[in-house]
A = this chain, B = another copy of it.
Amino acid sequence: MNNQQLFENIQKKGSFLCVGLDTDIRKIPKFLFDHKDPIFEFNKAIIDATAKYTVAYKPNLAFYESEGLEGWQSLQKTVTYLHQNHPDIFLIADAKRGDIGNTSSMYARAFFEKMDFDAVTVAPYMGEDSVKPFLDYKDKYVVLLALTSNKGASDFQFTAEENSGEKLFEKVLRISQNWGDAENMMYVIGATKAEELAGIRKIVPAHFLLVPGVGAQGGSLQEVAKYGLNHQCGLLVNSSRAIIYASDDENFALKAGESAKETRDEMYELLTQKGLIA
């Protein structure tokens, strides 16, 4: 998928929602344990109930790895199911990988060849050669961590450089543009600091931003849209727990769908106001 195709899906669905498939076996409804693969059954039901309000899904690898081999299997089945049943979905591996060049190329192979994700989140600490191997794939994306939504973001990401005063996350945004462009890179920008978005848009006007932290973590969708939308939308706003755990009852998928629809309706309004859909 490329930016234009992603934007067309956003227009078609009136949504820039990404649903985080952070599927925790300890939190899913108990009756799913009658199935052989409860994690996959949960994902399948959530996907079917939310796909029409959603342009992207983002499984976080940690939740699957914590179940060992079986978790890895559930993830593969989820990816296959999405491709077969919802081919217009943009699929992000939230893996936060990154290693020396020859090793990162193995991670790229894992996520883009073995598993056919459209994008993978990557941590910037190890610099250019840790990111580059992911950029060699056509119509695939690195989603580079810049400003995260967690408390620990303040430990290093705001470190101001001597002379320039440039903060570390700003430096990541600036320097990484020498490695790729808006057609193969996106950035993680936490919504808890929506006021930072205006400045960030000056550094990366054209890139898509993957924005976690709306809802449960306190960010406001209105604020994110105000500072973050660009001519191709340029935003994927992620919601995980508020949607996938909207209910832990028999009706969990229905409730997830309702929660996704609610967010979509708000996004539709914001896209219309901005003149991005007719």
Contacts and interface: CB of A to CB of B under 8 A. Distances in A.
Interface of A: 22, 24, 60, 62-63, 65-69, 72-73, 76, 94, 96-101, 103-104, 106-107, 109-110, 113-115, 123-131, 145, 148-157, 159-163, 165, 168, 171-172, 175
Contacts of A128: 151-152, 155
A76 B69 contact: yes
Nearest to A129: B152
Copies of this chain present in the complex amount to 2
A185 to B, nearest CB: 15
B127 A152 contact: yes
Nearest to A151: B129
17 contacts: A62-B97, A63-B106, A69-B73, A96-B98, A101-B150, A101-B152, A124-B125, A125-B148, A125-B156, A126-B152, A126-B153, A127-B150, A127-B155, A129-B152, A156-B171, A159-B171, A160-B162
A107 to B, nearest CB: 5
Contact of A168 (B63, B65, B76, B159): B159
B127 A157 contact: yes
Contacts of A63: 103, 106
Contact of A152 (B110, B130, B160, B162): B130
A106 B24 contact: yes
Contacts of A22: 103
A192 to B, nearest CB: 11
B127 A62 contact: no
Contacts of A156: 124-125, 127, 168, 171-172, 175
